[in-house]
Amino acid sequence: MIVYDKFNEFYEAAEDMYHAAPSSTRYVLKHTKKDGEGAVELKVTDNVSVIKFRSSLTAHLKHVDRINTLFISLAMEKPEGVDAASSSRRRRKA
């Protein structure tokens, strides 16, 4: 497990991990509150390796939006080799 101190490094590693194994990569957002202070933990895994980013700074909350946007946009991309017609046929059969 690798814990990143800098969000940009974590972001790049998360994107690389997704591109290497898109069907098995997922991320988790966890908010904890200890001693009255809140903290955010972002974790990305591909079932082989795990990367994390932790922060208790309020200013880093914008990073949550950035990583959400990354994974939503990557999930919405059309897989290579799949055209719209075959994709819609599969959905009608289900």
Q: What is the pLDDT of residues 10-62, one digit of tens each?
A: 999 999 999 998 889 998 988 888 777 788 889 999 999 999 998 887 777 77
- Is 84 within a domain? no
- Is 39 within a domain? yes
Angle, alpha carbons 89-93-94 (nearest 5°): 120
- Is 83 within a domain? no
- Is 90 within a domain? no
Predicted local distance difference test score (pLDDT) of residue 87: 47
- Is 82 within a domain? no
The number of distinct structural domains making up the chain is: 1
- β strands within the chain, DSSP E: 2-4, 26-34, 37-45, 50-55
- 2 against 32, higher pLDDT: 2
CATH number assigned to the domain comprising residue 9: 3.30.720.10
